[in-house]
Amino acid sequence: MALLHQFKISDGRVTYKSRFLSSDSYQSNQEHNRIAVSEFGTINMPDPCKNFFQRFLSRFELPSEYLTLPTDNANVSFVTYKGDYYVSTETNIMHKVDPETLKTIAKVDWSKFIAVNGATAHPHTDPDGTTYNMGNSYGRKGAIYNIIRVPPTKITEEETLEGAEVLCSIPSTDKTKPSYYHSFAMSENYVVFIEQPIKMDMLKIVTGKLRRKSISDGFSWNPKLNTIFHLIDKQTGKVNSTKYLAKPLSTFHQINAFEEDGLLILDMCAADDGQTIANYKVQNLRKSGEALDEVYNTLCRVFPRRFVLPLKVDRDTPYDQNLINRPDCTATSKRIGKDKVFCTHEDLHGEDLHQYGGLEFPQINYGKYNTHPYRYFYGCGFRHLVGDTLIKMDLHGKHMKVWEHAGLYPSEPVFVPSPNATEEDDGVVMSVVITPNKDKSTFLLVLDAKTFEELGRAVVPVNIPYGFHGTFNTTA
């Protein structure tokens, strides 16, 4: 269940509060004292109080929670629209929350405003507050990917997603098996959608309840398919006629994207395998000893990569010739067809990152450097199923700084710039660190973003579970 956390730093003191999201899923589970609503990786089990005949009949009920009542357990990320705070997952339901009290204010359904069946938990925001997101829709013509745009301001205080619009729609390459996406990239003038070979079998997902399978059972990896980068003009909504192809890869989080010298530079955390979701099954998390070592050794490793896409590809563009002429750039793009360019990546790291198991949960100085050339990003090293190090990567020379302590597991790093900062890494990096071998000794870690040296810890006398994504609210 979604559990919201808040650390407040003021006058040299740190206070902490947490509150469960008051979702319908949470209330139903509380009422039944068990998992009563199916989630992404969890199928609800029959009520043990029902007799055998009742449980048998329950298998043939319509799968209403998948068709009309998706989970509203928004447990992935804090997001903002029109200055308001929401918590979100990947269904069409978000919850508006009070960032001060963490109380649930309202349930908001995307489908009440635009024709989508869900949206990502990783929107992007322009400097003027205009927000972009993505959501699927399904109809007679098959699955469609939709680019969503939400205006920056409200007319009334009660507004939520009023004024949201579908900027453009992109048909899925496979009408019955659209690609899964956790996020997307954005540059100054383009939204970049990455259609990857992680496929969703809609028939399996819809019949999941009948088959006693979770939603994740409908996901599969098809290594025979290329990855496709779709570029959408943010002003016109027009999809670039050029399809940029790459070998099969899986990506959950992008680092940054920006335009320079007629090129779009796209940085992301990616892997050559799409089995990442399977790593986090409860069966794996409960393993120990040699069985757990086997899981570690077969983990899908994720590393930071750069793709460079030439924005101008026309009939005069030569074939089978590298179109990238940036100095010291090893990424390539070659025209292989009328509207096709095949791309290879450049590693954004040195060999030393391999000993830390790769990098995920990337963060940058978003407010000032998102959609612009940048130098630094921060993330978690993943030698285990969860992050066990914090890493700062310097793209000038691909050098890295590391924070690590045995037995400590940090969450996603959150960068906070210093007031009136003049340098990109002038600020602090904060992370919630769990200590599974000790009771009630979780702490908020604060690092100097420039030196990556520890500035302090605020120990919380409660047990906090490992979390996903956080956000920084405000500086007073």
- Three-state SS string over 53-89 comes to HHHHHHCCCCCHHHHCCCCCCCCCEEEEECCEEEEEC
The strand ranges marked E within 210-262 are 219-221, 227-233, 243-246, 250-260
Which segment of 23-37, 83-97, 152-166, 272-286 scores lowest on mean pLDDT? 272-286
The residues facing 146 across adjacent strands are 135, 169
Tokens of 324: 């990238």
How far apart CA 29 and CA 40 sit, in angstroms, is 15
**pLDDT value of position 40:** 67
Average pLDDT score over residue span 118-124: 93
Number of H helices, E strands in the chain: 8, 31
Amino acid in the structure at residue 126: D
Average pLDDT score over residue span 3-10: 92
**pLDDT value of position 284:** 72
Q: pTM of the predicted model, to two decimals?
A: 0.90
Statement: residue 417 has pLDDT above 70: yes
- 400 near 350, Cβ under 8 Å? yes
* Other residues' Cβ atoms within 10 Å of the Cβ of residue 457: 13
Q: How confident is the model at residue 293 (pLDDT cuts 50, 70, 90)?
A: confident
- 246 near 343, Cβ under 8 Å? yes
Closest by CA to 5, choosing from 15, 440, 13, 68, is: 15
Residue with tokens 């349930």: 107
**pLDDT value of position 461:** 87
Statement: residue 475 has pLDDT above 60: no
What is the rounded average pLDDT for all residues in the chain? Answer: 88
Statement: residue 105 has pLDDT above 60: yes
Average pLDDT score over residue span 85-111: 94
Give just the sign of the alpha carbon dihedral 99, 100, 103, 106.
negative
Higher-pLDDT residue of 60, 459: 459
Statement: residue 390 has pLDDT above 70: yes
Statement: residue 54 has pLDDT above 50: no
How far apart CA 208 and CA 275 sit, in angstroms, is 20
Burial of 300 (0-12, 13-18, 19+ CB in 10 A): middle
The residues facing 347 across adjacent strands are 305
Statement: residue 183 has pLDDT above 50: yes
Higher-pLDDT residue of 91, 165: 165
Statement: residue 24 has pLDDT above 50: yes
Residue with tokens 């010291």: 328
Higher-pLDDT residue of 253, 48: 253
Q: How confident is the model at residue 42 (pLDDT cuts 50, 70, 90)?
A: low
Which segment of 44-53, 191-200, 313-322, 340-349 scores lowest on mean pLDDT? 44-53
Statement: residue 60 has pLDDT above 70: no
**pLDDT value of position 202:** 79
Tokens of 315: 């009939």
Q: How confident is the model at residue 334 (pLDDT cuts 50, 70, 90)?
A: very high
Higher-pLDDT residue of 180, 283: 180
The strand ranges marked E within 104-239 are 104-109, 124-125, 131-139, 142-150, 165-171, 185-186, 190-195, 198-200, 219-221, 227-233
The residues facing 148 across adjacent strands are 133, 166
Residue 148: HSE in the Cβ half-sphere, 13 Å Cα cutoff: 32
Q: How confident is the model at residue 64 (pLDDT cuts 50, 70, 90)?
A: very low
How far apart CA 100 and CA 138 sit, in angstroms, is 37
Residue 261: HSE in the Cβ half-sphere, 13 Å Cα cutoff: 8
**pLDDT value of position 274:** 82
Residue with tokens 């086997």: 294
3-state helix, strand, coil in the chain (%, to 5): 15, 40, 45
Average pLDDT score over residue span 346-371: 96
The pLDDT tens digits of the residues spanning 434-470 come to 988 788 789 999 999 999 999 999 999 888 888 778 7
Q: How confident is the model at residue 44 (pLDDT cuts 50, 70, 90)?
A: low
How far apart CA 417 and CA 245 sit, in angstroms, is 36
